[in-house]
Copies of this chain bind each other. A is one copy, B any other.
């Protein structure tokens, strides 16, 4: 579970890259690679699937950090932190559209780097949770709280199961399922399963 975080460093200035690598090894992260240009970076992302990428924006060659960011978002959903020397409005405007998990201005200290990485890792964990809301959250959208059984069945409903499937999976008759759902709908003040589910989606999106 608590395996080392796999980090890829994308930075064209070798001195800075080595410096970061040294710091991070001290801090017990696992450095899966250092890419000095965009193409190498894309290769390494593909082959080594890091948990987090430290991404210099200004790279030599025709692939910029922003390009890599887009790939990380669209194709891999791997979070990244920008490293850059510039903070002019124009750059920031480009940068923020790619929703990085963090943004560090050079020159930075080891503690800044550590703070940003830990924050990103935590965010990543948050994101991974499946997230069916706790009973209390569901109860908040009901006029009267659900019973434990009702909550249990609701999780099944959320999986997309039909009444028959629910009956089979919970070892009760379809009629009983109908009764329970009837009561759930009434408590949630909705008229059918789809509205119940949208209401739950609403909770989860926040």
**SS class of chain A's interface: helix, strand, loop or mixed?**
helix
Contact with B along A123-139 (1 / 0, CB 8 A): 10011001100000000
Give the chain B neighbours of A122 by CB distance below 8 A.
96-97, 99
Knowing A130-B205, A197-B160, A197-B197 are in contact, say whether A103-B116 is a contact too (CB < 8 A): yes
Are B92's CB and A118's CB within 8 A?
yes
A100 at the interface (CB under 8 A from B): yes
Q: A201 near B: Cβ within 8 Å?
A: yes
A97 to B125, CA, bound (A): 11
In the complex, the chain B residue whose C-beta lies closest to that of A129 is B205
Is A92 a contact partner of B114 (Cβ separation < 8 A)?
yes
Tell me whether A198 and B159 are in contact in the complex, defined as CB-CB below 8 angstroms, given that A77-B206, A96-B122, A204-B205 are known contacts. Answer: yes
Question: Which range holds the interface residue count of chain A?
Answer: 35 or more
**How many angstroms between the C-alpha atoms of A198 and B159 in the bound complex?**
6
- Write the residues of chain A forming the contact surface with B, with a CB cutoff of 8 angstroms: 77, 87-89, 92-93, 95-97, 99-100, 102-103, 105, 109, 111-112, 114-116, 118-119, 122-123, 126-127, 130-131, 158-162, 190, 192-199, 201, 204-206
Question: 30 A–B contact pairs at CB < 8 A?
Answer: A87-B111, A87-B112, A87-B114, A87-B115, A89-B114, A92-B118, A93-B118, A95-B119, A96-B119, A96-B122, A97-B122, A99-B122, A99-B123, A102-B102, A103-B115, A105-B109, A105-B115, A127-B206, A158-B198, A159-B198, A160-B190, A160-B198, A160-B199, A161-B194, A162-B194, A193-B194, A194-B194, A194-B197, A197-B197, A204-B205
